[in-house]
Structure 1
Amino acid sequence: MEKTKICMGCFEELPDDATVCSICGFDNKTIKREVQKWCQGAVIEKRWLLGCRFSQSDTYTIWRAWDSVLEIKCFLLVLNDDSDMALSDIAVLSKENDIDFKILSAGIVLDRKVLCISADRTDIKEDELCIKENVWGEKDIISHIDNGNTDKNDILPADTLLNDRYQILGIVGIGGFGITYLAKDINLLRNVAVKEYFPKQWVQREQNYVSIRHSGMVEPFKYGLKSFVSEIKMTAKFIHTENIVTVTDAFFENDTAYMVMEYIQGESIGRELRKRKNKLYDTQEIKEIFVPVLKALSNMHERKMIHCDISPANIIRKKNGEIVLIDMGAAKYIYDKKMTFTASFLKPDYAAPEQYQTAKSGKAGNEGTWTDIYAVGATMYHCLTLEKAPDVIKRLESGTDKIKVEHRFKLRDRKKWIKLACDCMELDRTKRIQESYTVLERIDELS
């Protein structure tokens, strides 16, 4: 297979017969390879590969760059030595409001103040970008979180400073393979969520460091760490995608890895379900939850990725009502036939039959877009009935694919919705709805 030719000025694909890039104007005959200097071809802090200079003013220089940690194209805004501008006061705006800019991280790099910025397209011109100062006003930042009687042995204590910029405030979640903290980004003066790779069954805390319990757990820990890094890079593909959590930074420290994400103030659909008791969602509420989820999945599926862990716990409703899909820990590329790290840690009420087969055989092969569709159907069924979908194993053992639905749920406005959920949960993957856009079309017909 021939390698794709890449412009080293903007990191876009370059036609085979071209040396001068039509996007950034860089002449790829002049490629340099220098280290620790602000020039094209320099590798900065073993992370950023500099492309060509994008723009320059009396206050700053903006470079195109490749972030090797997140594996994304980005821009680095580097303040001049004599600039007294605060990084937290800088806003990066589109003059015509047609480009989505996101400030990912900020810090001191080679003794210079630097902002890492992402844009939803890289073919932008200098006159399309606007840099402003002091536009924020007072920022609303959470400064404390009460974790009550949480076991303190495994978690990092409050006020721990990670990567010289993320101040731990408390925990927001603990799973089998990681701990998620609420933190303050002291450089950008905003709250972030920081997820630490911490597989509790294999490691223990020694001061702030992560220590493997014994030699037999070294290889599982390394394999899990590789999977966590893959999660970071996959999530970073969707920085500008609506309804998918935004990753902003990642780093290694304390003998483990950390992923920094936007902090979402809201509540999972799983928690909502527990609170509702006997109060059913109406069909409009169901639509408001699942249309954004399916649109997010459509974006993933277009990139040949599958989420593999759709469930009420991984769907968050923000305080403003926006729905966000989180947790790419089990996500993988459709063409990846290797055994996934999380294949044996399925959510029994939402996992598709082929995921159980993968976990049993130790060999992936039948997962695809239809796998996510099954989980969407099971989650939708739970929201429609306030009851979990029938157990997959029992359905397989009984040899019947038909799901019995109680008469009280067969009301006119819900009957077709429940049929849609059941169609998504066909045991035979070849009979199941295959694509998220098909489910969206069915929902549109029900509206």
Structure 2
Amino acid sequence: MTDILENRCPGCFRENQGKPTCTYQDCGWTVGDQPDSPLYLPPGTLLGDDYVIGKVRGHGGFGITYRGWSKSIKTRIAIKEFLPDRFAGRTQGPEVNVHTKQKENFNYGLRKFQEEAENLAKFQQSPVIVTVLKHLAANGTGYMIMDFVDGVTLEEYLEEHGNKISWERAWAILSPVMDALREVHSVGLLHRDIAPDNIYITQNKSVKLLDFGSARRDTDAKTRNVNSTLKPGYAPEEQYRKKGEQGPWTDVYGLCATFYRCITGQLPLESIERFRRDNLQSPSSLGIKLPKDHEAALMKGLTVYAEDRWQSIDELQQALRKPEGAFFSWGRQTGSV
């Protein structure tokens, strides 16, 4: 590997002229660094014939995402590893060890992980959905090889901009997400986890939709652990029920909850807490300025009962026509772009 990456940091794969410490703040790799968890593959680990593992970028209950490098096309990539810590672990070396009596659940989740990769690969031409380049099996588990996206999550962007943004800017950021969801729904798929931490804003100001996570939610449903991965405030009531009927209206709720969070700086009240008495405040009652018809459309998308919501993203988009002054910029909201 030395000849391949001699001028690149083994943690983030940016050029560093062979320096012993990476100078990029979001990496900070130093010679001799060890992974923060025994679950993590160390930087420099080879995956198949083409891919090199770098530093961990994210870790959830069902998997680990690494920075990576493709030797064949000489570019940075993201590598997502299926490793549900309820079912498996890693004690020594790269091989994944499945826990006693969890083989069936692990294998079920692994199949769903592969199906997810295959489904996402259908959208390689989408400018918003992160491209899955390949799925491969190694180390007793599965991996998705994906385009590397450099930027910040919408959650981080909000934190950098005073915890909330104008309605016009929120619309400009989330309009591409609506386009992507319409495309996903057209082939019978759902996202089911729309939230600011799954929306990425890149350095070139484009918007990307991440982490469909269908393998995680399907496995949770099979193992009767339905609520473990839901995000309070963003999940509609049907996701809390084992037999709750989910459809495009489920993503409508998550998207409208994300709009609400962006413009008010607050999470909507948890959907299951709104059954008896719905105390969700409208944005205007919180002093937020937006067109009345847009507010009505947003609140309809946040209705507790699925049948009372917009039934499709297309319906929501028609109600949320482009407002005057909708724009997106990395700069702070000073009135200029």
Decide: shared fold, TM above 0.5.
Answer: yes
The 1:149–1:426 alpha-carbon spacing in structure 2 relative to 1, beyond 3 Å, is farther
Query: Which residue of the other structure, out of 298, 301, 314, is the alignment partner of 2:185?
Result: 301
Which one-letter code corresponds to 1:312 in the other structure?
A: P
Query: Which residue of the other structure, out of 297, 303, 310, is the alignment partner of 1:433?
Result: 310
The 1:283–1:209 alpha-carbon spacing in structure 2 relative to 1, beyond 3 Å, is same
The 1:412–1:268 alpha-carbon spacing in structure 2 relative to 1, beyond 3 Å, is closer
Query: Which residue of the other structure, out of 138, 146, 164, is the alignment partner of 1:261?
Result: 146
Query: Shift of the alpha carbon at 1:432?
Result: 0.3
Alignment map for 1:324-335 (pairs within 5 Å): 324-330=208-214
Query: Shift of the alpha carbon at 1:270?
Result: 1.5
The 1:409–1:187 alpha-carbon spacing in structure 2 relative to 1, beyond 3 Å, is same
RCO comparison, higher one (Cα < 8 Å, 6+): 2
Taking the aligned partners of 2:194 and 2:298, their CA distance within structure 1 comes to: 14
Taking the aligned partners of 1:381 and 1:181, their CA distance within structure 2 comes to: 31
1:80 aligns with none
1:34 aligns with none
- Count of paired positions: 295
Query: Shift of the alpha carbon at 1:164?
Result: 1.4
Query: Shift of the alpha carbon at 1:347?
Result: 1.3
Query: Shift of the alpha carbon at 1:244?
Result: 0.5
The 1:165–1:438 alpha-carbon spacing in structure 2 relative to 1, beyond 3 Å, is same
Q: Secondary structure at the match of 1:388?
A: coil
Contact in 2 for aligned 1:377/1:420 (Cα 8 Å): no
Task: Report the structure number with the largest CA radius of gyration.
Answer: 1
2:204 aligns with 320
5+ residue gaps, structure 2: 1-11, 16-21, 325-337
Query: Which residue of the other structure, out of 44, 58, 82, is the alignment partner of 1:197?
Result: 82
The structure with the largest helix share of the pair is 2
The structure with the largest strand share of the pair is 1
5+ residue gaps, structure 1: 1-139
Query: Which residue of the other structure, out of 251, 257, 280, is the alignment partner of 1:403?
Result: 280
The answer on 1:155 being equivalent to 2:37 is: no
Give RMSD over aligned pairs: 2.5
Query: Shift of the alpha carbon at 1:233?
Result: 1.2
Which one-letter code corresponds to 1:429 in the other structure?
A: A
Query: Which residue of the other structure, out of 250, 260, 268, is the alignment partner of 1:371?
Result: 250
Question: Structure 2 length normalisation: TM-score?
Answer: 0.80
Q: Secondary structure at the match of 2:320?
A: helix
Which one-letter code corresponds to 1:352 in the other structure?
A: P
Q: Secondary structure at the match of 2:96?
A: strand
Which one-letter code corresponds to 2:168 in the other structure?
A: Q
Alignment map for 1:197-276 (pairs within 5 Å): 197-205=82-90, 206-213=92-99, 215-276=100-161
Query: Shift of the alpha carbon at 1:417?
Result: 4.0
Q: Secondary structure at the match of 1:252?
A: strand
Question: Structure 1 length normalisation: TM-score?
Answer: 0.61
Taking the aligned partners of 2:72 and 2:157, their CA distance within structure 1 comes to: 34
The 1:243–1:375 alpha-carbon spacing in structure 2 relative to 1, beyond 3 Å, is same
Contact in 1 for aligned 2:167/2:289 (Cα 8 Å): no
Query: Shift of the alpha carbon at 1:340?
Result: 6.1
